Structure 1
Amino acid sequence: MSLLPLDELPTTLPSSPSSPSPTPSPVRSPSTVARLTRLTVTLLPLLLIGAWAVVDWRTVRDGAARLAGADPWWLLAGIFFTCLGWTAAACVRQGAVPERLPPGLLLASQFAAGAANHVLPASIGAHAVTLRFLQGRGIPLARATASLALYSLVKPLAKTVVLIAFLVAFPDVLRLGELVPDDLTLLLAAGALVLGPVIACLLLTVVRPLRRPALGFVRTALTEARLLHTRPSRVLPLWGGAAATPLLQGSVIASVGFSLGLPLSWAQVVLALLLASTAVGAVPAPGGIGPVDAALVFTMVAFGAPMDLATTTIVGYRVLTVWVPLLPGTLVLSALVHRKVL
């Protein structure tokens, strides 16, 4: 029996006819899945906006028809104040993080966040866009979430300060008798303010798995807030932008009202917005649409505006601040997602 040399041995064993070789199943590469996911996320805002436009088309049509006969110069001023509102939001976002963010991308992200904010309630859409933007800038998730919490806390506090300043500055011009809530409403509001922290403390006490992440988040948020308030370059945009936001929103409403002949002053319109948004701002509605609108109309009527003119002003305000920038904002949102900024 002769042995074969090593270099002449077969390198593969013959396959048995009874056991056929399995055919490899097609596996979708991770890059393909990522591309499909990004394409879906890119097109989803456009689909949502299209569905919303179909559902609320009558409001868009009626508002555009009413604005067609308004003073164009006042409407142009309203558009100007609307653009300043995005700048103020970008300033507050920058003031809530120690890192310096690119101004152009930051402003574009807030423009896109405005479109997302009108789709999801309670500012969830805007916060989600900003959270992805901050993470894309290399900010860890815990610190980015703390930034959103600081942003959400500073805005109502600054609005309350502006409201008190208006009440002190215009004690005689503004008639508040019909707007002062009764004792039962004040009691319910005070109970809600006390009940919230009590429920949070009970949850942390009873549900132990929540205790450690909640305490860690609070420590991170307090550390970030303490650091930011030692830097004037962050304190000024944070609090200045938050205080300017309701003034700019009120200026948009006043511009639309003046274009239609609303018989109210700028101070009355701004105070009406402050009171309405403070009273029903906690109701979760997309972009505050719905409850805040009804409260605005009621407040302006209490100040002496005709019902039909106040309603037309609010409809025109929503058309100017929601529907006019909605499609461009959605396109910017899709572009930021496509370019992996978000």
Structure 2
Amino acid sequence: PARPRLSPTRIARIARHALPLLPLPLIGAWAVADWHTVRDGAARLSSADPWWLLAGLFFTCMGWVIAAVVRQGALPERLPPGLLLASQFAAGAANQVLPASIGAHAVTLRFLQSRGIPLSRATASLALYSLVKPVAKTLVLLAFLVAFPELLHLGELLPDRRTLLMVAGGVTTALVTAGVLVTAVRPLRRPLLGFVRTALTDARILHTRPSRVLALWGGAAATPLLQASVLASVGFALGLPLSWTQVVLALLLASTAVGAVPAPGGIGPVDAAVVFTMITFGAPMGLAAATVIGYRVLTVWVPLLPGALVLSVMVQRKIL
């Protein structure tokens, strides 16, 4: 006898129940692919000072809170704080899978749309968020360079002329390409101009509200300091012979120099640059590498499974 066919309603019901379990095999596959990092990081952290690791975990959690604050600062409408925080926790898990913050932006975009924010204004909010974060980080870096000039070895840390020319050429090419596309492709012109008008209008409204300005710019400036505090806490737990200021500068310099490389969660290029910068400041190579590995375990692997499960539950309940 022929098997009874599953109705679309039953298939949808089964999919909704199975969705929260989907992250488990995905995370298992990632753990197998990156097993050496997980094993080495866990081994290092098992012998570290637990109080400093607890401090690092606290700063990690505060990073999600600040991310939610900055997201709220980039939008005039008030969002529900609890759901916004949950969305940023889930976005952190998605951000480790796709490069250039695409995963986090996709989760946030779906959340904003579910709260009734039109697509154009939600996209403008993401654009403002993406613009303010690097500007605020650069301002924080400049403030540290002015306050602690003796800590910076310019000759060893600045990129050479060839690298600067390549970066300038890449930026120029991107701008010229965008200008040519807008000028030559008429279907792109109207939506792009509409997006620019929406973004400028929302930015003007936001900057007339002191609470939004503080949330947007203050939160964006606090983000790299919290990330550096996590890194410093792991380093202190392992006995890294650097000060908090040196660790902050190492992360700011490294993320500014190679942060534009599209790697998931910044893993890879930024890690190597952080290790190199900490070695320049006088840290042993093995200890600097162990600190970065422990930092990634604390900020990526520890929250990855709960973050992925929160993401699945929010999708299942149609919050995303």
Q: TM-score when scaled to structure 2?
A: 0.94
* Distance (whole Å) between structure 2 residues aligned to residue 176 and residue 40 of structure 1: 54
- Aligned residue for 2:263, secondary structure, equals coil
- Alignment-derived partner of residue 11 in structure 1: none
- 1:39 is displaced (CA, Å) by 5.1
List gaps (5 residues or longer) in structure 1: 1-24
Give the structure with the higher percent helix: 2
Residue 97 of structure 1 pairs with residue 72 of structure 2: no
1:106 to 84, 87, 95: 84
- Alignment-derived partner of residue 264 in structure 1: 242
For residues 265 and 99 of structure 1, do their structure 2 counterparts lie closer, same or farther at Cα, with a shift above 3 Å needed?
A: same
- 1:33 is displaced (CA, Å) by 5.9
- 1:233 is displaced (CA, Å) by 1.6
Contact 1:63 1:312 in 2 (8 A): yes
2:45 to 44, 63, 67: 67
1:300-342 deviation line (CA, Å, top 9, x unaligned): 1111111100000000000000011111111111111122111
- 1:172 is displaced (CA, Å) by 1.2
- 1:80 is displaced (CA, Å) by 0.7
Contact 1:81 1:252 in 2 (8 A): yes
List gaps (5 residues or longer) in structure 2: none
Give the RMSD, CA atoms, in angstroms.
Answer: 1.7
1:155 to 124, 130, 133: 133
Contact 2:23 2:305 in 1 (8 A): no
* Distance (whole Å) between structure 2 residues aligned to residue 36 and residue 63 of structure 1: 37
* Distance (whole Å) between structure 2 residues aligned to residue 195 and residue 180 of structure 1: 23
Residue 126 of structure 1 pairs with residue 104 of structure 2: yes
* Distance (whole Å) between structure 2 residues aligned to residue 35 and residue 334 of structure 1: 14
* Distance (whole Å) between structure 1 residues aligned to residue 22 and residue 180 of structure 2: 39
- Alignment-derived partner of residue 163 in structure 2: 185
* Distance (whole Å) between structure 2 residues aligned to residue 252 and residue 62 of structure 1: 18
Contact 1:49 1:119 in 2 (8 A): no
* Distance (whole Å) between structure 2 residues aligned to residue 167 and residue 228 of structure 1: 30
Q: Judge which range, 183-192 or 115-124, deviates more.
A: 183-192
- Alignment-derived partner of residue 325 in structure 1: 303
- Alignment-derived partner of residue 315 in structure 1: 293
1:96-133 deviation line (CA, Å, top 9, x unaligned): 11111111111111111101100111111111111111
- Aligned residue for 1:214, secondary structure, equals helix
- Aligned residue for 2:42, secondary structure, equals helix
- Alignment-derived partner of residue 113 in structure 2: 135
- Aligned residue for 1:264, secondary structure, equals coil
Residue 56 of structure 1 pairs with residue 26 of structure 2: no
- 1:83 is displaced (CA, Å) by 0.7
- Alignment-derived partner of residue 193 in structure 2: 215
Q: Judge which range, 225-234 or 45-54, deviates more.
A: 45-54
Q: TM-score when scaled to structure 1?
A: 0.88
- Aligned residue for 1:178, secondary structure, equals helix
Residue 171 of structure 1 pairs with residue 149 of structure 2: yes
- 1:59 is displaced (CA, Å) by 1.1
Contact 2:21 2:309 in 1 (8 A): no
Contact 2:241 2:283 in 1 (8 A): yes
- 1:207 is displaced (CA, Å) by 1.7
For residues 36 and 76 of structure 1, do their structure 2 counterparts lie closer, same or farther at Cα, with a shift above 3 Å needed?
A: same
Sequence identity (%): 78
Q: Superposed, which structure 2 residues align to 1:182-331 within 5 Å?
A: 182-331=160-309
- Aligned residue for 2:151, secondary structure, equals coil
- Alignment-derived partner of residue 46 in structure 1: 24
* Distance (whole Å) between structure 1 residues aligned to residue 14 and residue 126 of structure 2: 29
- 1:42 is displaced (CA, Å) by 4.2
* Distance (whole Å) between structure 1 residues aligned to residue 131 and residue 16 of structure 2: 32
Contact 1:109 1:130 in 2 (8 A): yes
Contact 2:133 2:221 in 1 (8 A): yes
1:242-275 deviation line (CA, Å, top 9, x unaligned): 0000000001000100111111111111111111
